[in-house]
């Protein structure tokens, strides 16, 4: 394949690249150093390379990972798309999560390979386009949405405390039936349980409250999202609900960290509304977004693989996150 620099005639032409985030059994991800002689030599990247004429991104991923590391990819799902303008090329990077391969990894182009952990990177420098990718890797694949409306406060708080005692999870506290002051009081109570256990708490709709209690994130409704001109400051994670392409575009414009897209299947929360379904979910994600997208609506832990096969990062669980009998 021609190197990037051989494209000076049309510097605006976009080079499409497929890259793989290999995940091992310990949950680590693989990075490789770029070989000498390439643009950004010795920077760290996710293995992959440019699409050849007539290839799909998946075809290119399999070919590149065979050429660069000698492995046969057996399980890869589309994940994020990052667009970036380098001085040498405009690139569209199609990232895949790769969870299965045959063969021993070997740097066939003299590159170094290193398994890395989220938040504990020990290689540098990283290619400048890869910031959102590392941020996306820090997100869990399951987000739980509170359901105090059905469980009642006592059972909800008891289940939440038990969950967080067992290990940190990520909670979206969404209780639209509560008044603003009741929601505020609940948010304080939940945050006081979250802190000691390292649980992540995302508040719904109320940015000022999320900032005031130092929550980990704010989640906007689709209608709030469409009224925002910029990503709010002073909060770590910013996310939003989306239902259609224009919502995803709004999410991209303000620079969310992740979005929910749905509802996928009919749910008790949206009676009578036509669900999006997996095919439409997948079509919308193929447009290529630089943030992870969670499937929402009728999701359970057993739909996680389906969500990922259709390009989702993970699933947002409402009823499935809670035992209704406790
Ligand atoms: N493979 C890969 N390329 C990336 C990443 N991030 C990123 O900005 N790029 C850019 O995407 C382009 C990919 O080119 P590449 O050098 O891997 O392509 P290739 O393997 O086909 O190389 P070749 O053309 O020398 O055969 C480069 O401009 C590179 O800077 C990444 O994480 N992985
Ligand atoms: Mg390459």
129 CA: nearest ligand 1 atom: 8
The neighbourhood of ligand 2, an ion, using CB within 5 A, equals 49
Question: Residues forming the annotated binding site for Mg(2+)?
Answer: 48, 68
pTM of the model: 0.94
Give yes or no for a contact between 292 and 307, defined as CB atoms under 8 angstroms apart: no
Q: Which ligand is nearest to the CA of 31?
A: 1
Q: For residue 89, which atom of ligand 1 is closest to its CA?
A: 28
**Paired strand residues for 201:** 171
In three-state form (DSSP H/G/I as H, E/B as E, the rest C), the secondary structure along 125-157 is: CECHHHHHHHHHHCCCCEEEECCHHHHCHHHHH
Element (H, E) at 132: helix 131-137
Among 11, 48, 95, residue to substitute to test ligand 1 (most atoms within 8 Å of Cβ): 48
Any idea how long the chain is? Answer: 326
Query: In the sheet where 29-33 sits, what is the strand order?
Result: 44-45, 29-33, 113-116
Q: Which atom number of ligand 1 is nearest to the Cα of residue 18?
A: 1
Binding residues: 34, 45-48, 68, 130
**pLDDT at position 117, please?**
96
- For the record, the structure tokens of 227 come out as 């009224």
Q: For residues 261 and 292, what is the distance between their CA atoms, to the nearest angstrom?
A: 10
**Looking at ligand 1, which residue's alpha carbon is closest to its atom 4?**
45
Q: Are 256 and 268 in contact (CB under 8 A)?
A: no
Residue 325 pLDDT: 64
Q: Which of 50, 69, 107, 137 has most ligand 1 atoms within 8 Å of CB, for mutation?
A: 50
Q: For ligand 1, say whether the CB of 275 is within 6 Å of any of its atoms.
A: no
User: Would you say 172 and 143 are in contact if contact means Cβ atoms under 8 Å apart?
Assistant: yes
- Taking the CA of 46 as reference, the closest ligand is 1
- 50 Cβ below 6 A of ligand 1: yes
CA 278 – ligand 2 centroid, Å: 32
Q: What pLDDT does residue 154 have?
A: 96
Q: What is the pLDDT of residue 11?
A: 52
Smallest CA separation from ligand 1 atom 22, residue: 49
| Minimum-distance ligand 1 atom for the alpha carbon of 3 | 24
| Ligand with an atom nearest the CA of residue 43 | 1
Determine if ligand 1 sits within 6 Å of the CB of residue 315.
Answer: no
Phi, psi of 18 (to 5 degrees): -110, 130
User: 4-133 falls under which CATH superfamily?
Assistant: Nucleoside Triphosphate Pyrophosphohydrolase (3.90.79.10)
Residue having the nearest C-alpha atom to atom 15 of ligand 1: 49
Q: Which DSSP state fits 275?
A: P
Q: Is 22 close to ligand 1, i.e. is its CB under 6 Å away?
A: no
Averages of pLDDT over each 10 residues, the chain, 326 residues? 42 88 97 91 96 97 98 98 92 98 95 95 94 93 97 96 93 97 97 89 98 97 97 96 98 97 84 88 97 97 98 97 78
CA separation for the pair 154, 120 (Å, rounded) = 38
State whether the beta carbon of 38 lies less than 6 angstroms from ligand 1.
Answer: yes
What's the CA-to-centroid distance between 61 and ligand 2, angstroms? 10
Q: Are 156 and 146 in contact (CB under 8 A)?
A: yes
Q: Which CATH superfamily is domain 142-321 in?
A: Aldolase class I (3.20.20.70)
Closest CA to 8 of 129, 90, 94: 90
The runs of H, that is alpha helices, within 169-243 are: 180-197, 207-212, 222-227
Domain ranges in the chain are: 4-133, 142-321
* Cα 3 to ligand 2 centre (Å): 10
Protein residue whose Cα sits closest to atom 20 of ligand 1: 49
């Amino acid at each position: 394949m021609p190197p990037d620099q051989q494209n000076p005639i049309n510097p605006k032409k976009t080079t499409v690249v497929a890259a793989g985030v290999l995940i091992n059994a310990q949950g680590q991800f693989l990075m490789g150093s770029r070989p000498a002689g390439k643009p950004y030599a010795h920077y760290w990247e996710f293995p992959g390379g440019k699409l050849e004429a007539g290839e799909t991104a998946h075809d290119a991923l399999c070919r590149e990972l065979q050429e660069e590391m000698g492995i046969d990819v057996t399980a890869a799902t589309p994940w994020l798309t990052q667009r970036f303008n380098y001085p040498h090329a405009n690139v569209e990077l199609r990232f895949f999560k790769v969870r299965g391969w045959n063969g021993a990894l070997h740097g066939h182009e003299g590159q170094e390979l290193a398994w890395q952990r989220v938040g504990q990177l020990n290689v540098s420098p990283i290619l400048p386009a890869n910031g959102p990718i590392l941020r996306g890797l820090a997100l869990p694949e399951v987000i739980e949405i509170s359901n105090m409306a059905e469980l009642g406060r006592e059972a909800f708080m008891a289940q939440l405390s038990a969950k967080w005692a067992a290990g940190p999870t990520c909670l979206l506290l969404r209780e639209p039936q509560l008044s603003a002051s009741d929601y505020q009081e609940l948010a304080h109570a939940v945050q006081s349980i979250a802190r000691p256990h390292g649980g992540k708490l995302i508040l719904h709709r109320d940015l000022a409250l999320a900032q005031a209690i130092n929550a980990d994130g704010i989640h906007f409704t689709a209608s709030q999202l469409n009224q925002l001109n910029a990503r709010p400051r002073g909060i770590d994670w910013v996310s939003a609900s989306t239902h259609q392409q224009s919502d995803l575009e709004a999410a991209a414009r303000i620079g969310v960290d992740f979005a929910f897209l749905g509802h996928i299947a009919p749910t008790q929360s949206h009676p009578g509304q036509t669900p999006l379904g997996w095919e439409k979910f997948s079509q919308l994600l193929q447009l290529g977004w630089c943030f992870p997208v969670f499937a929402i609506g009728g999701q359970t832990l057993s739909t996680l693989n389906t969500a990922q096969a259709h390009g989702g990062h993970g699933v947002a669980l409402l009823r499935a996150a809670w035992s209704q009998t406790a």
